[in-house]
């Protein structure tokens, strides 16, 4: 059996060569996994490069090129070895080129693996708790929330595919002033509805900082329909908890429905309020106090973040009114995460929470935990463009565009893909008109059309009654000898490595880069095949004359159809990790015809 991937194949061969040098006393021992192998930056340098000679040279007291040449001399080439060429470059880099047969043989492996191509063996560690999209449940999800949802869900899919044990979690911030203000707003709208039914009901002012969206008015109507005049009065009820619970439940219902439509699911929904009620927040404060990290002055309780983490000032954890701050609840929450047995706490936050990272790491340090166990991904802002102008998204004023509205306008696939096209730490401009366009300048259309084109080619083969394909053998795969065909085979073969790297970096946006590059190479292949090689995958109309079925090279067509199957499979796998569909058919972009799918 070959190793899991092309890169691991090269690493294994290098490790064996280095092992021989270790046995001879030329260099010191090194763990195979410590041998760096990277994709070569330039095709003329080969397929892979390694700097292992530079790492081994200094401890051995030798020149890096000398070590590199000794390693290269021990690399098998030709015959049954996948390596066809190895050389030393620069100060001691080792460049390796694999034989075409290696990439050709990968075709059968891809097709045999199918939906599992690129999937890594299951790991037992690190156990990751991925928390994302956590927000105050005070209304529908807006455009900025959508980016958090897309990045978080794609990262969860990617990590699981890469073998990591992952639990996804939504932290419901259902405690504190924001949900209290939502309750006040809903009560004010409830009173409007009650007064419309009975003019004798008093007029009440709307809260100055209340939530003004239409959804709040809907909540008020629903509350009146459910409870009638129960809450009518000149002021909000002294016990507003039932209205707050109602408002939170209504908001969460909207959020859950939106997430279901957006194909996002969470394993756990954790309530902040439940942490308070269970005593976790109070117990955390007592534990910090017992460790000497709490100070009391100015009628408030402070966490000594200056001593713990070199913060610019200590931070309040209990306000002068006796209420705990969000910081204290968040410390309790993360402490409970670790108590649940997770090794890594991966949080996705808005970029405006940058300063919160150090405080949370300080809290972990206070409890004797490694601060590095908290890994935070910051999501930059989203600008939604309408007629070239950003759309305001202030939630309280009610002047915001919901995620549901965007999905309705451009579709789930385009919405998710556009959110994932850029690094999470880069501001994103979401062009609605481009996302809707059915042309090759629309990034998601371009990629999906690549998959649909594969399906169209297979349908065309059936329509023209192509002979049944022979079983895929090494000899048949060897028909894929054009440079462009081998280049795409190489990209397909490297998908497992790409998945592993993207997962390790916690960067799902890399998948959009991969699938866009694959679609681009596939699109370019047609131009090269016809204009440079004067060839086509299937016989076109100009070929179908005379006894064309007897003279056409159906063997090469069969190999190319298997190749098309593999391209479509890897596209499906990559798009699936993004949460984007892979359609079997799509409207043809302008200037293309049915013959173009040949």
Task: Break the chain into its structural domains and give their ranges.
Answer: 6-98, 177-261, 443-597
The reported pLDDT for the residue numbered 398 is: 56
Q: What is the number of residues in the chain?
A: 598
Token pair 């075709």 in the structure block, residue: 107
Q: How many whole angstroms from its chain centre is CA 445?
A: 19
CA 499/CA 117 separation, integer angstroms = 10
Q: Which residues make Cβ contacts (< 8 Å) with residue 229, sequence separation at least 6?
A: 194, 198, 201
Q: Give the tokens for residue 269.
A: 């929904």
CA 110/CA 103 separation, integer angstroms = 11
CA 421/CA 429 separation, integer angstroms = 10
The reported pLDDT for the residue numbered 3 is: 53
Please answer whether residues 170 and 154 qualify as being in contact, where contact means their C-beta atoms are separated by less than 8 angstroms: no
- Residues linked to residue 167 through DSSP beta bridges, in sequence order: 129
Q: Which residues make Cβ contacts (< 8 Å) with residue 55, sequence separation at least 6?
A: 30, 34, 36
Buried b or exposed e, range 69-84, using 16+ CB within 10 angstroms = ebbbebbeeeeeebbb
Segment 430-481, tens digit of pLDDT: 999 999 999 999 999 999 999 999 999 999 999 998 899 999 999 999 999 9
pLDDT (tens digit, 0 to 9) for every residue of the chain, 598 residues total? 455 689 999 999 999 999 999 999 999 999 999 999 999 988 889 999 999 999 999 999 999 999 999 999 999 998 889 999 999 999 999 999 999 999 999 999 999 999 999 999 999 999 999 999 998 899 999 999 999 999 999 999 999 999 999 999 999 999 989 999 999 999 999 999 999 999 999 999 999 999 999 999 999 999 999 999 999 999 999 999 999 999 999 999 999 999 999 999 999 999 999 999 999 999 999 999 999 999 999 999 999 999 888 888 999 999 999 999 999 999 999 999 999 999 999 999 999 999 999 999 999 999 999 999 999 999 999 998 876 677 665 544 556 789 999 999 999 999 999 999 999 999 999 999 999 999 999 999 999 999 999 999 999 999 998 899 999 999 999 999 999 999 999 999 999 999 999 999 999 999 999 999 999 999 999 889 988 999 999 999 888 888 898 899 999 999 999 999 999 999 999 999 999 999 999 998 876 655 566 6
CA 444/CA 438 separation, integer angstroms = 9
The reported pLDDT for the residue numbered 419 is: 98
CB atoms within 10 A of CB 580: 27
| Architecture (CATH level 2) of domain 443-597 | Orthogonal Bundle (1.10)
CATH of 6-98 among 3.30.1330.10, 3.30.1360.70, 3.20.20.140, 3.40.50.300: 3.30.1360.70
Closest CA to 35 of 67, 63, 77: 67
Q: Which residues make Cβ contacts (< 8 Å) with residue 92, sequence separation at least 6?
A: 51, 53, 54, 57, 63, 64, 65, 67, 68
Segment 211-231, tens digit of pLDDT: 999 999 999 999 999 999 999
The reported pLDDT for the residue numbered 594 is: 58
């Amino acid at each position: 059996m070959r190793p899991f991937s092309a890169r691991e194949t090269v690493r294994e061969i290098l490790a064996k060569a280095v092992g021989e040098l270790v046995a001879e006393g030329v260099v010191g021992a090194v763990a195979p996994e410590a041998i760096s192998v990277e994709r070569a930056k330039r095709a003329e340098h080969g397929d892979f490069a390694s700097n292992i000679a530079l790492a081994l040279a200094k401890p051995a007291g030798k020149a890096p090129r000398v070590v590199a040449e000794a390693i290269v001399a021990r690399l098998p080439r030709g015959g049954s070895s996948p390596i066809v060429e190895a050389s030393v470059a620069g100060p001691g880099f080792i460049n390796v080129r694999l034989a075409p047969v290696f990439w050709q043989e990968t075709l059968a492996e891809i097709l045999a693996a199918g939906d599992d191509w690129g999937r890594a063996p299951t790991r037992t560690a690190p156990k990751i708790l991925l928390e994302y999209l956590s927000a105050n449940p005070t209304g529908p999800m807006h455009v900025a929330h959508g980016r958090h949802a897309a990045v978080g869900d794609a990262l969860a899919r990617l990590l699981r595919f890469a073998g990591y044990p992952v639990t996804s979690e939504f932290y419901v911030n259902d405690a504190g002033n924001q949900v209290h203000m939502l309750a006040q707003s809903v009560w004010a709208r409830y009173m409007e509805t009650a007064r419309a039914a009975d003019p004798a009901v008093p007029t009440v002012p709307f809260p100055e900082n209340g939530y003004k969206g239409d959804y709040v008015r809907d909540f008020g109507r629903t509350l009146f329909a459910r409870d009638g005049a129960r809450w009518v009065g000149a002021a909000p009820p002294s016990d507003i908890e039932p209205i707050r619970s109602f408002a939170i439940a209504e908001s969460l219902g909207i959020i859950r429905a939106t997430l279901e439509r957006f194909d996002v699911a969470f394993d756990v929904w954790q309530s902040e309020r439940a942490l308070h009620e269970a005593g976790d927040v109070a117990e955390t404060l007592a534990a910090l106090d017992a460790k000497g990290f709490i100070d009391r002055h100015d009628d408030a309780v402070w966490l000594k973040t200056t001593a713990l983490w070199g913060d610019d000032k200590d931070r309040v954890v209990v306000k002068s009114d006796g209420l705990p701050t969000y910081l204290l609840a968040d410390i309790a929450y993360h402490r409970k995460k670790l108590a649940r047995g997770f090794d890594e706490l991966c949080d996705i936050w808005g970029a405006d929470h940058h300063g919160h990272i150090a405080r949370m790491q300080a809290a972990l340090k206070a409890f004797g935990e490694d601060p590095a166990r908290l890994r935070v991904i910051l999501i930059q802002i989203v600008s939604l463009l309408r007629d070239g102008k950003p759309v305001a998204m202030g939630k309280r004023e009610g002047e915001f565009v919901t995620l549901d509205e965007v999905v309705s306008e451009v579709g789930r696939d385009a919405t998710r893909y556009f959110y994932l096209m850029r690094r999470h730490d880069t501001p994103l401009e979401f062009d609605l008109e481009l996302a809707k366009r059915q042309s090759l300048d629309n990034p998601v259309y371009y990629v999906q059309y690549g998959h649909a084109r594969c399906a169209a080619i297979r349908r065309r083969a059936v329509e023209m009654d192509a002979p049944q394909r022979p079983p895929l053998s090494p000899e048949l795969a060897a028909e894929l000898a054009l440079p462009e065909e081998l280049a795409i085979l190489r990209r397909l073969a490297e998908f497992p490595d790409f998945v592993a790297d993207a997962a390790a970096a916690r960067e799902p946006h890399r998948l959009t880069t991969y699938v866009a590059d694959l679609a681009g190479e596939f699109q370019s292949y047609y131009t090269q095949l016809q204009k440079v090689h004067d060839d086509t995958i299937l016989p076109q109309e100009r070929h179908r004359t005379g006894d064309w079925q007897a003279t056409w090279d159906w063997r090469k067509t069969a190999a190319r159809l298997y190749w098309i199957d593999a391209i479509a499979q890897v596209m499906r796998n990559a798009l699936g990790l993004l949460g984007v569909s892979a359609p079997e058919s799509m409207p043809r972009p302008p200037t293309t015809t049915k013959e173009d799918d040949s």
